[in-house]
Amino acid sequence: MSRNFASTAPALAANTFARPQSAPMYSSTGLDVWTMMNQVAASVDAVNLGQGFMSFPPKDFIKRAAQEAFTEDANNQYAPPRGRPRLLEQLAARFAEKLGRPIDPGSEVSVHAGANEALLSAFTAFLEHGKGQEAILIEPAFDQYTPNVLMAGGKPVYVPLRVCASKDPATNTISSSDWKLDYTELEAAITANTRILVLNTPHNPVGKVFARDELEAIATIAQRHNLLVISDEVYEHLTYATDHVSIATLPGMWERTITVGSAGKLFGVTGWRVGWAIGPAELIHPTLSAHTRIVFTTNTPLQEGVAFAFVQATSNGFFDSQRAEYERRRDRLMAIFDDVGLPYVVPDGAYYLLVNAAAIKIPDTYEFPDFIKERGPNFKLVYFFIKEFGVSGIPPTEFYSAEHKALANDYIRFAFCKTDEGLEDASKRLQKLKLYLQSSS
């Protein structure tokens, strides 16, 4: 039986050059900052102090935990969407101690494909498309927060931390505690459509660990306006001479807080992509439902590896020794910038150092590629640093909305989750920086 295709030929011809169109949110997205700066760094073989991945291996007991998990046949099949029982039990025990309350592993914990997916699941569960519902983001805000809110159908609203007016960060080293949240400004940003407030403590990239009195002020506002608080605490184990307080421990806050954590940050295995959410069953149930539709489940063997690592870490002093190692790296990187004459923000937590490079004089005739020029002065500063000094960082304007980017134009974020050899190499390379200080011209 023959078919006559002639009648369809004109229609096909008319559409020969038509192409499927992506959603504007994704078609307009440029190269992400991490890929961009890593490529620039690779072009000059720079010391990479930019992206926050560890340049040293995990401890042997952590690697063995994963290796042993792979040998169990059952660990190579689907895990329950909520998570593997052994990991749920370990997380419940850890957070029961941390939060000072019993945690039910069967209803108050969910395991996710990294902390970022936990955040996306929480946003998806508590924001509705087409309703104009808002989430408050405290800037600088990790660059995944905004797209996650948008993907969930919400509207991000930005309130920045600001350096105390009495401080001059361009000429003097300051503390991360000198970055303050204006509670009047925060409350003014809340509307009848506000549903969520995102908190990050210890904070990336500032290194601020919110003090109890600051958390109490935020909690009062959250309760007054019936807000869900999503507390990103992936660096909770990395604090230096200061205590980390979870906002969920404050009166009336357990009931309205989802606490997010990460095995990648906790054990130095960012490639494992295992995270979690902790909170009351009324908040975790919808978060888990969203997770089930986004990824269904998290990889089984590495959940078991994390569970085994938790068991050993509680008895071998890992978290204390890890904190001491990071504090030593932090102090070394601070000493490097003391030596070359650039001020910075002393971090009380996490593993980033914000350096104020306002004193760097970039020659007026310096050539920048278009992909850097179009991203603004902060990208130019970081590009110049990489190309001329061979040390890479990240432009923190990427952590700000367009309205507030100018607050970060003079800063570069460096990560100190790096080897001693890498830090010493950076120290040698940065000696050239002294030639570009404006005071020396």
Q: What is the reported pTM?
A: 0.93
What single-letter amino acid sits at 177?
A: S
- pLDDT of 9 strictly over 60: no
Residue 290's pLDDT is what?
98
Residue 124's pLDDT is what?
98
Distance CA 171, CA 312 (A): 45
Residue 95's pLDDT is what?
97
Which residues, 6+ apart, have CB-to-CB distance to 205 below 8 Å?
140, 350, 352, 354, 394, 396, 399, 413
Residue 32's pLDDT is what?
85
Percentage of the chain beyond pLDDT 70 is: 95
Residue 80's pLDDT is what?
96
Residue 52's pLDDT is what?
82
Which residues, 6+ apart, have CB-to-CB distance to 133 below 8 Å?
127, 153, 154, 155, 193, 194, 195
| Partners of 421 in the β-ladder | none
Mean pLDDT of the chain: 94
> Is the alpha carbon torsion for 350, 103, 115, 71 positive or negative?
positive
Distance CA 207, CA 350 (A): 6
Residue 16's pLDDT is what?
66
Could you read off the pLDDT of 400-418 as tens digits, one per residue?
999 999 999 999 999 999 9
- pLDDT of 440 strictly over 50: no
- pLDDT of 132 strictly over 50: yes
Distance CA 328, CA 334 (A): 10
Six-digit token pair at 44? 């000059």
Residue 51's pLDDT is what?
83
User: 162-166, long-range: CB within 8 Å, 24+ apart, which pairs?
Assistant: 162/407
Residue 393's pLDDT is what?
96
Could you read off the pLDDT of 289-319 as tens digits, one per residue?
999 999 999 999 999 999 999 999 989 999 9
Nearest to 256 by CA among 299, 208, 197, 297: 197
Average pLDDT on 331-355 reads: 98
Give the burial string for 167-201 (b: 16+ CB within 10 Å, else e): eebeeebbebbbbebeeeebeeebeeebbbbbbbb
Residue 225's pLDDT is what?
98
Phi-psi region of 132 (alpha: psi -120 to 50; beta: other; left: phi over 0): left
- pLDDT of 258 strictly over 60: yes
Could you read off the pLDDT of 35-71 as tens digits, one per residue?
999 999 999 999 999 988 888 999 999 999 999 999 9
- pLDDT of 5 strictly over 80: no
Could you read off the pLDDT of 199-242 as tens digits, one per residue?
999 999 999 999 999 999 999 999 999 999 999 999 999 999 89
Nearest to 143 by CA among 410, 375, 388, 317: 375
